[in-house]
């Protein structure tokens, strides 16, 4: 069954499972069932976290405190401590070209997820500090980039004579760690990072949901969508589980030299999903000389920058197009503005209609050029549907790791780089 309709999302893999991988795909799908059953017997914290109600109350309480007197909220965190939250706040328009016009509840949201001296210096402008709140997020409690930003923020607040306890809060892993020590000393509140859930899988915890809540996204709706994806994973026959089909399909194509996976949404409000997926897939599966390379794209803009390669370049990619069926159509081109023959085809048509046509055109062109392409059609970009798609891709990643016989939840190469960077900083300060 290659075309599966769920309540709010359709997964069509008909043109993604090509003849050259059909046999290996079937074999991998059978193995995926074994992977699924192992997690049914021993559910991950990622799964059981969805039923947690206590953390929602704690988030709500802290969120109300953060919003008091805040015109800006700056999230200090990198990678999994930031990208998932960006996906969720984008549901309400954050980070889109029109974000300044979006009427979202709460203050302006800024994610300082990269480390850049000039950018962060501007964020610490003393004139704005009195109305700025910081949320620092680190599971380890010692992420180098985040600790550097926090240290600079605390310095700036102290210099401005502001109470750090009223301007800083955070999320940290349990046990003894640097962030907890700093928070105790500076007397600012911390929420606990969910145990057993790594950063790139933490989007459905307070890591992703606290910023989302501040931007008016309903965390309960997000978790309900994720729960529906999980229920399908746990209960449906393996041939009807979109995440199992996706994992088997991706690994089968990788075995046939298609080791690049392109994720291309056709809506601004899913742009950050591509960045989150890129980390999830790359950091979970790039081990022991294995893995496929995730590439994030955005339609229609990347039709002008990447599709030439997709159609005319090497056949080394699997394509995943995501559309939103009922998203806002936008304005229409009226006849009086299009009364020349060259623009007659635009008369009375909306921007949304053109985007939909271009998505279908890209899909059709890929199909006609014998490029494997999966179409994921969401009804709309809502907390529920985004929660579903986030859980779907986490499950797809976890199953793929099982098929590859690797650990999806560690990142030894990343840790190696962190150790070297800290050593270099220590040596240069002596």
- Cα 62 from Cα 134, distance rounded (Å): 12
DSSP 49: G
Q: Is the peptide bond prior to 91 cis by the omega test (within 30 degrees of 0)?
A: no
**Of 287, 332, 367, 418, catalytic:** 418
What the block records as the tokens of 409 is: 């939840």
90-120 per-residue burial string, b: 16 or more CB within 10 A, e: under 16: bbbbbbbeebeeeebebbbbbbbbeeeeeeb
- Cα 252 from Cα 282, distance rounded (Å): 17
Strand partners, 260: 293, 317
DSSP 133: E
- 31: annotated active-site residue: no
Please give the angle made by the CA atoms of 225, 405 and 321, to the nearest 5 degrees: 40
| Local structure of 74: helix, strand or coil | strand
- Cα 396 from Cα 402, distance rounded (Å): 10
**Of 228, 283, 384, 396, catalytic:** 283
- 418: annotated active-site residue: yes
- 126: annotated active-site residue: no
Give the pairing type, strands 168-172 and 260-265: unpaired
**Of 304, 336, 342, 427, catalytic:** 304
Catalytically active residues are 283, 304, 418
């Amino acid at each position: 069954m290659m075309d599966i309709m769920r309540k709010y999302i359709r997964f069509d893999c008909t043109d993604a499972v090509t003849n050259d991988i059909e046999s290996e795909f079937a074999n991998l799908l059978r193995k995926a069932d074994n992977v699924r059953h192992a997690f049914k017997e021993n559910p991950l914290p990622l799964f059981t976290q969805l039923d947690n109600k206590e953390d929602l109350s704690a988030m709500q309480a802290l969120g109300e405190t953060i919003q008091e007197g805040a015109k800006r909220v700056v999230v200090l965190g990198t990678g999994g401590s930031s990208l998932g939250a960006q996906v969720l706040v984008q549901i309400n328009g954050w980070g889109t070209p029109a974000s300044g016009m979006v009427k979202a509840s709460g203050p302006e949201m800024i994610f300082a997820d990269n480390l850049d001296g000039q950018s962060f210096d501007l964020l610490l402008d003393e004139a704005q500090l009195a109305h700025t709140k910081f949320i620092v997020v680190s599971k380890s409690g010692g992420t180098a980039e985040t600790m550097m930003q926090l240290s600079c923020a605390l310095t700036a607040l102290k210099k401005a004579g502001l109470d750090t306890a009223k301007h800083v809060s955070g999320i940290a892993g349990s046990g003894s760690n640097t962030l907890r020590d700093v928070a105790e000393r500076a007397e600012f509140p911390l929420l606990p990072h969910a145990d057993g859930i790594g950063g790139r899988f933490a989007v459905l915890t307070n890591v992703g949901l606290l910023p989302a809540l501040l931007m008016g996204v309903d965390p309960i709706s997000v978790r309900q969508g994720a729960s529906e994806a999980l229920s399908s994973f746990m209960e449906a026959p393996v041939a009807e589980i979109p995440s199992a089909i996706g994992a088997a399909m991706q690994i089968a194509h990788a075995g046939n030299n298609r080791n690049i996976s392109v994720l291309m949404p056709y809506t601004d409000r899913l742009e950050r999903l591509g960045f989150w997926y890129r980390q999830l897939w790359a950091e979970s599966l790039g081990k022991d000389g294995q893995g496929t390379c995730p590439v994030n794209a955005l339609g229609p803009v990347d039709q002008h920058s990447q599709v030439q390669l997709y159609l005319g370049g090497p056949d080394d990619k699997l394509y995943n197009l995501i559309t939103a069926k009922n998203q806002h159509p936008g304005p229409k081109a009226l006849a009086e503005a299009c009364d020349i023959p060259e623009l007659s085809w635009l008369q009375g048509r909306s921007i949304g209609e053109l985007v939909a046509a271009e998505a279908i055109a890209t899909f059709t062109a890929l199909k006609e050029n014998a490029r494997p392409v999966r179409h994921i059609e969401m009804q709309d970009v809502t907390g529920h549907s985004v929660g579903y798609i986030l859980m779907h891709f986490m499950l797809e990643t976890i199953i793929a790791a099982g098929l590859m016989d690797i650990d999806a939840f560690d990142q030894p190469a990343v840790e190696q780089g962190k150790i070297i960077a800290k050593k270099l900083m220590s040596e240069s300060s002596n």
